[in-house]
Structure 1
Amino acid sequence: MDEVAGIEYFGQNDRRTDPATRLEQIGERMEPVLAQTTGFFRERPVAGGLAAAFCAVWVHRMDERAVPPIVITPDATIDLQWIDGRFRVAGPDKEPQIETPPAGAVIVGFRFRPGAAAGWLGVPAGEIVGGRLDLGELWGTRARELSDRIKAATDLPALLRQLEETIGMHTEGREALDPQMGRAFGVLDEGLPPETPLVPFLQRQLHMSERTLRRRFEDAFGYGPKTLDRILRFHRYRRLQRQQGDASTALLAVEAGYADQAHLIRESRRLTGVTPTALT
């Protein structure tokens, strides 16, 4: 078990055990819950100076009482987080990760724009897949210099202002975003036309060989086109579920791009450890 800035991290313990089994094992101690269903969670767009590399800032404050393990599901994003007085990087996930934060913990996260994390961090996303890394592991003393700019704040808004100003100083004037990969992310997020072969379609759109396409995707997102498409398709289903709550799961599955409801259920268990109905 690793402990990073007061967060017990279970996500990389035993990759031989499937996600659903890991959740059941942890659930024997205390039933795990989806991260955003416990405590206080809010997000908003970042201030203008950060928009070149980040799309949103979020705050997750845990309850003061005992906190159950929280399930972090893959969402094809990379975050720069502020926890217990230092920065850490939450890499792109391929499977659900489980963390047990202490009661009352406050986590502030800055979500990178698709295709911007590698340029801002100076490391390919493929090297941090599934990781929760202290920024110092990537930057050395530069990370401590960044953290030292954050002083004790009397309230959360004051802390957010300090964080945005500090991160903004490091972001201003830098071309972190890979525009081509940003566009590719948008295409997959929207969904391809039915029966469209994924890789050949992307090759035509981006004018790349298959080898170059995979390398660029792994550098920008942490995994290849098919894995990214799988994760984004599931989140497309979740969006449709929120928008059309009365529609049947089978219809929403097909609309999101799945072959049928059984296909959706398999992918849901693979990405979250539970069935779609357990997420509602």
Structure 2
Amino acid sequence: MGADGRYEERSSRFGGATVWNWSGPRDPARAVLPDGCMDLLWTGGRLLVAGPDTRAFTATEAAPESCTGIRFAPGTAPALLGVPAHELRDRRVPLDAVWPGAEVRRLAERIDGTADPAAALEDIALRRAADASPPDPLAVSVAERLGQGLSVADTARSVGLGARQLHRRSLAAFGYGPKTLARILRLQRALALVRAGTPYAEAACAAGCTDQAHLAREVRDLAGTTLGGYLTALGGAGQAPAKSDTALPSGSSTTA
């Protein structure tokens, strides 16, 4: 995170979401890993949306020194934003590319004039949700099952969908198919164990990988680094920054 950077997060008033804030210099060598989430961001005087990542997101050196976001649980943001998740996959876009420009300008002025941008973002989400359709309950159930380590096939059976139906619903809800989401959530489980000090081989098996070599391949493919490089980049910190349009991505608790 950098010696002078500060990251804080808390549970949001918006169900299942997390509010986070980063202040201080960013380390452009760090990348933030996919986590299945989408974020609404306030950074550099702009409102942005961070879509679901399929690979590590690397910051630029021109990152603003403060960023606030609300990170939505997997499958819950598309209904709120009014856009399928796959349209924002691996993208950071201005909110006015998704919502009407005049509305976004009013929201930006409101946040710019407040001492608590995080609370303002929560208010935006809560007010929008009151007029929006609820999240797809099936997608939320799918994310929970895959997050617990259930296989894609077993998950499909448990929610009563065929493989093609599950894939189609997953694209809209998560931005990618269930197999990709399962890989991402499995990696998150494994790295949480690694951060807690569990040996690589034990963490791999506990998270659902076949062995340590399998975990190493997943880290390389999804995070663009090695297990050792991942821990070195953490620098011993157990808490990591969240998703932004520059140095920090989606509130994921893992960086590389």
| TM over 0.5, shorter chain | yes
1:45 is the counterpart of 2:11: yes
The answer for the alignment partner of 2:153 in structure 1 is 200
The answer for the alignment partner of 1:172 in structure 2 is 130
Give the alignment's TM-score, normalised by structure 2. Answer: 0.82
Secondary structure at 1:58 match in 2: strand
The answer for the alignment partner of 1:77 in structure 2 is 37
> Do the aligned residues in 1 keep the contact of 2:69 with 2:118 (CA within 8 Å)?
no
Looking at structure 2, the residues matched to 36 and 185 of structure 1 have their Cα atoms a distance apart, in angstroms, of 32
1:269 is the counterpart of 2:253: no
Amino acid at match of 1:145: R
Q: Kindly state the Cα deviation for residue 269 of structure 1 after the two structures are TM-superposed.
A: 0.6
The answer for the alignment partner of 1:144 in structure 2 is 105
Q: 1:101 to 1:81 in 2, by over 3 A?
A: farther
Give the alignment's TM-score, normalised by structure 1. Answer: 0.75
The answer for the alignment partner of 2:204 in structure 1 is 253
Where structure 2 has 5 or more consecutive residues not aligned to the other structure, the ranges are: 232-256
Q: Kindly state the Cα deviation for residue 185 of structure 1 after the two structures are TM-superposed.
A: 0.5
The answer for the alignment partner of 2:184 in structure 1 is 231
User: Which one has the largest radius of gyration?
Assistant: 1
Looking at structure 1, the residues matched to 59 and 145 of structure 2 have their Cα atoms a distance apart, in angstroms, of 31
Superposition map of 1:122-133 within 5 A? 122-133=82-93
The answer for the alignment partner of 1:93 in structure 2 is 53
Q: Kindly state the Cα deviation for residue 67 of structure 1 after the two structures are TM-superposed.
A: 4.4
Aligned length: 230
The answer for the alignment partner of 1:217 in structure 2 is 170
Secondary structure at 1:59 match in 2: strand
The answer for the alignment partner of 1:188 in structure 2 is 146
Looking at structure 1, the residues matched to 171 and 113 of structure 2 have their Cα atoms a distance apart, in angstroms, of 38
Describe the superposition over 1:205-251 as per-residue Cα deviations: whole angstroms up to 9, x where unpaired: 111121111000010000101100111111110122234x1x42112
Q: Kindly state the Cα deviation for residue 164 of structure 1 after the two structures are TM-superposed.
A: 2.7
Describe the superposition over 1:50-81 as per-residue Cα deviations: whole angstroms up to 9, x where unpaired: 22xx5110111132xx7434312111111111
Higher RCO (Cα < 8 Å, 6 or more apart):
2
Q: What root-mean-square deviation, in Å, do the aligned CA atoms of Structure 1 and Structure 2 show?
A: 2.1
Secondary structure at 2:154 match in 1: helix
Q: Kindly state the Cα deviation for residue 103 of structure 1 after the two structures are TM-superposed.
A: 6.4
Q: Kindly state the Cα deviation for residue 88 of structure 1 after the two structures are TM-superposed.
A: 0.5
Where structure 1 has 5 or more consecutive residues not aligned to the other structure, the ranges are: 1-34, 193-197
Q: Percent identity?
A: 37
